[in-house]
């Protein structure tokens, strides 16, 4: 959904007496991109997102060891063995972290499916249903959970099925307008276009830096936001994967932005102006052509975009590698 009515009625530029973070919250729902509970308590985000990389990093910290220890104790008599036992422990671990996060944030938490299922429709659906079942058995409503799935054709198809069951999805590893359009057509709850990784690709390819509105990652999210508002799609846009606060400030007004603790701290310490850049009413008058997508067109357009193709594939590989790291870590614990 778009930003709240209260946010929409705020002036376009806010007084210098507030930090950039406080001002940003007037235009946009701020989400914590971390597995660190103390950061969430400090910066008071609305929602929180996790992924295998963040969960693996959290398991390495002594202060969060109690979560894994409890899961291992609770699941010691599961009757499972080998890979099935490790998978079961990881599923319960993801949900355990999510439950702890929901004690801190008032909104939702995103929990990621196994990236190795990114091209497996049935597998993605089964995993999402299982994670939601674990949440609901522990007393957490599915309305507070977003299941993260990669923005492949198969992943979006799986999300379309899940959304019809009331399982809300966050389509991640999204780098292009065709991916975003297909997600909107599937009535996905939320998408996470990766600003920083788009920026990284163009910086390396063009051998130059980008700032402000010319940043390719910023331009991508701006284009997607305008498309959604122009054609009345309800899917929420959540910019993700930021490299600097300039990218964040340029996207003030986006439905949501998920931000690392390091960048949240910089925004909280700065009193520079923040102006609303993305506005749903302005987007409705944008000159945008509607995309018509079937599977063949989607795959062709994605293939034509070298950045989106490479970054989607790279992201799946990296998240898959972190799941393997987590599996090895659990195996050593056992």
pLDDT at 6: 39
pTM of the model: 0.91
Q: Which residues are catalytic?
A: 148
**Distant-in-sequence contacts of 198-205, Cβ < 8 A, 24+ apart:** 198/307, 198/311, 199/243, 199/247, 200/243, 201/307, 201/310, 201/311, 202/307, 205/307
What confidence score (pLDDT) does residue 16 get?
Answer: 58
Token digits of residue 300? 């062709």
- Which residue has better confidence, 59 or 267? 267
Closest Cα to residue 182, out of 314, 23, 273, 300?
300
The answer, yes or no, to whether residue 248 has pLDDT greater than 60, is yes
- Rounded to whole angstroms, the Cα distance separating 197 from 268 reads 24
Using one digit for the tens of pLDDT, what is the confidence trace for 99-134? Answer: 999 999 999 999 999 999 999 999 999 999 999 999
- In the block, which residue shows the tokens 């931000």? 259
3-class DSSP state of 36? coil
Over 60: is that where the pLDDT of 10 sits?
A: no
- Residue 17 banded pLDDT, cuts 50, 70, 90: confident
Note the pLDDT tens digit of each residue in 158-214: 999 999 999 999 999 999 999 999 999 999 999 999 999 999 999 999 999 999 999
Instruction: Give the pLDDT band (50/70/90) at residue 12.
Output: low
Residue-level pLDDT at 3:
39
* Domains of the chain (ranges, CATH numbers): 28-333 (3.20.20.70)
The percentage of the chain sitting over the pLDDT mark of 90, rounded to a whole number, equals 87
Q: What is the pLDDT of residues 22-52, one digit of tens each?
A: 999 999 999 999 888 999 999 999 999 888 7
Q: What is the pLDDT of residue 8?
A: 41
| Alpha helical stretches, state H, 28-176 | 37-43, 52-59, 65-74, 82-102, 121-137, 153-164
Query: pLDDT tens digit string along 210-228?
Result: 999 999 999 999 999 999 9
**In angstroms, rounded to a whole number, what is the distance separating the alpha carbons of residues 213 and 103?**
37
In the structure, what pLDDT confidence band is assigned to residue 53 with cuts at 50, 70 and 90? confident
The torsion angles phi and psi of 164, rounded to 5 degrees, stand at -65, -20
Q: What average pLDDT does the chain have?
A: 93
142: Cα within 13 Å, side-chain hemisphere: 17
Q: Is the pLDDT of residue 267 over 90?
A: yes
């Amino acid at each position: 959904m778009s930003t709240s009515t209260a946010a929409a009625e705020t002036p376009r530029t806010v007084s210098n007496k507030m930090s950039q973070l406080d001002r940003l919250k007037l235009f946009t729902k701020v989400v914590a991109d971390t597995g660190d509970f103390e950061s969430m308590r400090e910066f008071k985000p609305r929602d929180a997102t996790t992924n295998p990389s963040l969960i693996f990093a959290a398991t390495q910290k002594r202060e969060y060891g109690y979560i894994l220890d409890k899961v291992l104790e609770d699941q010691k008599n599961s009757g499972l063995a080998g890979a099935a036992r490790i998978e079961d422990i990881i599923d319960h671990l993801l949900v355990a972290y999510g439950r702890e996060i929901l004690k801190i944030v008032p909104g939702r938490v995103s929990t990621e499916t196994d990236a190795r299922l990114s091209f497996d429709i049935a597998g993605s659906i089964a995993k999402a249903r299982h994670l939601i079942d674990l949440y609901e058995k522990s007393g957490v409503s599915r309305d507070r959970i977003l299941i993260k799935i990669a923005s492949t054709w198969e992943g979006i198809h799986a999300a379309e099925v899940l959304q019809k069951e009331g399982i809300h999805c966050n389509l991640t590893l999204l780098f292009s307008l065709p991916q975003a359009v297909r997600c909107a057509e599937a009535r996905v709850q939320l998408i996470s276009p990766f600003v920083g990784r788009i920026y990284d690709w163009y910086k390396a390819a063009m051998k130059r830096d980008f700032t402000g509105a010319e940043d390719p990652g910023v331009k991508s999210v701006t284009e997607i936001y305008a498309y959604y508002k122009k054609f009345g799609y309800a899917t929420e846009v959540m910019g993700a994967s930021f490299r600097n606060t300039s990218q964040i400030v340029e996207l003030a007004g986006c439905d949501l932005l998920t931000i690392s603790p390091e960048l949240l701290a910089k925004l909280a310490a700065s009193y520079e102006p923040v102006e609303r850049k993305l506005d749903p009413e302005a987007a409705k008058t944008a000159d945008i052509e509607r995309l018509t997508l079937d599977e063949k067109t989607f795959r062709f357009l994605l293939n034509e975009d070298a950045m989106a193709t490479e970054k989607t594939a790279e992201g799946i590989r990296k998240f898959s590698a972190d799941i393997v790291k987590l599996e090895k870590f659990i195996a050593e614990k056992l």
